[in-house]
Amino acid sequence: MGRTVTATPLPASIDGIAARLRAAGCVFAEEEARLLLEAARTPAELAEMVERRVAGLPLEHVLGWVEFAGRRLAVAEGVFVPRRRTELLAREAAALARPGSVVVDLCCGCGAVGVAVAAAVPGVELHAADVDPAAVRCARRNVAAVGGRVYEGDLDAPLPTRLAGRVDLLVANAPYVPTDAVGLMPPEARLHEPRVALDGGPDGLDVQRRVAAAAPRWLAPTGRLLIETSQRQAPHTAAAIAAAGLTARVVRDAELDATVVVGSR
């Protein structure tokens, strides 16, 4: 953010833009070129957007939005971009929600999971929280559209105390990349997304353990905790949930390469 970009003229055609993107290593160059052409309001803006993408900025940061669970959500530079695999977390939560359910989205980022649940199940009471101020600003734009509220602070610390014992669904896409593996991530992630949204500690499970330990305070008697994790880490995530006194089950979607652990009272 705050970086000055010197835009060079380029042909306003999908083929011309795609060639530049392909040369920069963009795998889906034609599709990205089409999206950039649709988003730009002027040739100068288009040229600047292409330059930013060629320089390595994530496409979603260049466009200012990300598509998640069929919706376009605002996302700004420096904010974690929700992955498609996280749609499993949203889908599982939506399947358990009912109108009137109290839903809390921890480590919410731009608010993607909570918004997807609220859009799928009208009438839920949505609350979301994140420690990163930039993410909170984005989330407030997105969550307001479905009538929810967003709080800034560490995990559950900023949640209203009135929610204690009332939460039907506590969902968390907490960071779960081991510290030593963050440097191995694609540049788009490790250079342009906040480390706090990626680094899960030495084994990747530090934040998940904290979420699991906090969950019993907030969950209603029939409430559930849902945490995204990796297939390899799932047994350890389940153990953390079990240590909090909940019964854990693992949900896997091979097509999305997604894994969620669900904890129940």
Residue 70 amino acid letter: G
Q: How confident is the model at residue 12 (pLDDT cuts 50, 70, 90)?
A: low
Q: Which residues, including other chains, have CB under 8 Å from residue 160's CB and lie 6 or more apart?
A: 127, 151
In three-state secondary structure terms, 34 is helix
Between helix 29-39 and helix 43-54 the angle, nearest 10°, is 140
How far apart CA 55 and CA 213 sit, in angstroms, is 41
How far apart CA 210 and CA 212 sit, in angstroms, is 5
Give the H or E element holding residue 181: helix 179-182
- In 3D space, the residue among 9, 182, 176 whose CA is nearest the CA of residue 86 turns out to be 176
Q: List the domain boundaries for the chain.
A: 14-56, 84-264
Q: Which residues, including other chains, have CB under 8 Å from residue 247's CB and lie 6 or more apart?
A: 263, 264, 265
Interval 186-242: pLDDT, tens: 999 999 999 999 999 999 999 999 999 999 999 999 999 999 999 999 999 999 999
Interval 62-76: pLDDT, tens: 999 999 999 999 999
What CATH number does the domain located at 84-264 have? 3.40.50.150
**Would you say residue 15 has pLDDT above 80?**
yes
Interval 25-37: pLDDT, tens: 999 999 999 999 9
Interval 87-124: pLDDT, tens: 999 999 999 999 999 999 999 999 999 999 999 999 99
Interval 121-152: pLDDT, tens: 999 999 999 999 999 999 999 999 999 999 99
- The tokens for 172 are 């968390």
- The confidence score (pLDDT) of residue 4 equals 47
How far apart CA 237 and CA 260 sit, in angstroms, is 9
**Would you say residue 14 has pLDDT above 90?**
no
Residue carrying structure tokens 């153990």 = 239
DSSP characters over 221-256: EEEEEEEEE-TTTHHHHHHHHHHTT-EEEEEEETTT
Enumerate the H helices of 2-132 as residue ranges. 14-23, 29-39, 43-54, 59-63, 87-96, 112-120
